[in-house]
Structure 1
Amino acid sequence: MPEGDSVYRAAARLHETLAGQVLTTAELRVPAHATAALAGRRVLEAVPRGKHLLTRLEGGTTLHTHLRMDGRWAVFGPGERWTGGPHAQIRAVLGTERGTAVGYRLPVVELLRTADEPRAVGHLGPDLLGPDWDPAEAVRRLLAHPARPLAEALLDQRNLAGIGNVYANELCYLAGVTPWTPVGELASPDRLVTRAHQLLDANRLRSGHITTGDTRRGHQHWVYDRAGRPCPRCGTLVLTAHHGTPPQDRPAYWCPYCQRGPAPAGRHAPLGSRARRAY
């Protein structure tokens, strides 16, 4: 699932292409809104809200979309060939004289009154990249359920909006605890929340969700997607398991030397690998 910084960049591309422009083409290829007449309306703005995208039109209408796992908004210049996937996967088309935004594989395509946006996004916690960011409120929401595993709590958009599985794993590493550590056992939850904001803010205009400060391919993360490879800090092999409950469970990655706390029993390193520690 895209992280909040990816959605932020998608909204920026949509805003650059559509804002202030009159829609010359507008198609919503979903049954509920297939007959919606949006052509001729001016686009006011496209804004992110956590992992949600809100494209606001004149007349008090908002197009609410969510990318979830596979969705994507692609932007093309006039006359440019669309290359985001088969036409059968297109769920929305918003075209202006400046360019065309094409939504591929969007699982959520919803028209609603702008005044009713809270119905779609009002449940979200403080947005890490939004004007409503409030670290104290984010900490309060996280600590409201102190027994909850940290990675699961970070992924709950009702606590703070914008964290996906990459950042959830990396933040656990940076806090020195495993993804299954109860939130209430964190020594400095305020520091964790501040670090989350710093990471997403640093990556909002670049791809890769870089957490190490190293932009080279294969060096961008501390533990995420590094199972069986040495921890960049200590050399111990990174382990992997799953956290959460099906069907919402996700892969977890952690260094058993740098991160303290509970972890599932059993073998977690790829077969044939040997744990190594550098002291």
Structure 2
Amino acid sequence: MKAVLDGAKGYRRLIPSLTALVEFEAVARLRSFTNAATELGVTQAAVSRQVRLLEDLLGVRLFDRTHRNLTMTKEGEALFAVVSEAMGRIAGVFDRLSTGIEDEELVVGATAAFSHFRLMSSIGTLKRLNPNLRIRLITTMFTADLRHNEADAVVRYGNGNWSDGTSYLLFEEQVSAVCSPGWLKTNGTPETLAELMACPLIADDPTSEGWLTWEQWFRALGERPGRLNYGLLTSLYSDAVQAALDGQGIAMGWNRLLHDHLASGRLVRVTGATLPMSDAYYLVVPHGKTIRPTIKTLIELLRQDAGVG
């Protein structure tokens, strides 16, 4: 008992104000003293005083304040990463104890295309491994702001360097032109990229997924595309892929995403031209969320299902 009491005294000495930490976490997460005050039900001046108290105690600045912007210093980022994770774990235990629910819930965010082509099969396996696991999928953009997101983990496409969470590499990507075997048999294989430009191309809205366009793909491969022959334009990538499966033309094939279709032969690469991408897919766990065993298992399943490892 003595050791416990001495430890508690030590914590009080090192962390003299839990209120200050709570208010700091809200400011850091929301990037706003005003929004933090609203969330906590206190005045902006009270929040500012608590943050100043922390800064005085630590002897460092936690935020760089300008007239329009509020950004964390490297010291603030370090403190936020630890405080948000600790509070998330505490909140999770409180929620479990207060509700009496032992079943685990996992909230995962991803774009509609990633959910359709990669996530669903991994989720099914995860459920079989964890029968009591409740999974909730939410549709997000690849660049969704995790500070205002309820997800326990989200899939992002990019360089992996994001300040609002911890990133775990899933797999890298390369992009080819793909079509159905039937279309290729009927129309023949384009011998050059110039011939490919004249083929009926299926395009999707790249802004919805954060990906490149046909024009960018051709330029990256050393071609200067003129007027491309778009046979079909879609808003969603999944619709573009379905059109290619139906033999309506040539779609942009994100190879890892379409691993199952390519492996089964339902889709084939039109030419040998393939563009390796510098960005990759990551599973990002927001600061304040626990990196649970189920999340680690999901990472491994996503890698395996995309033909990695």
TM-score range, shorter chain: under 0.3
Structure label with greater radius of gyration: 2
TM norm structure 1: 0.25
TM norm structure 2: 0.24
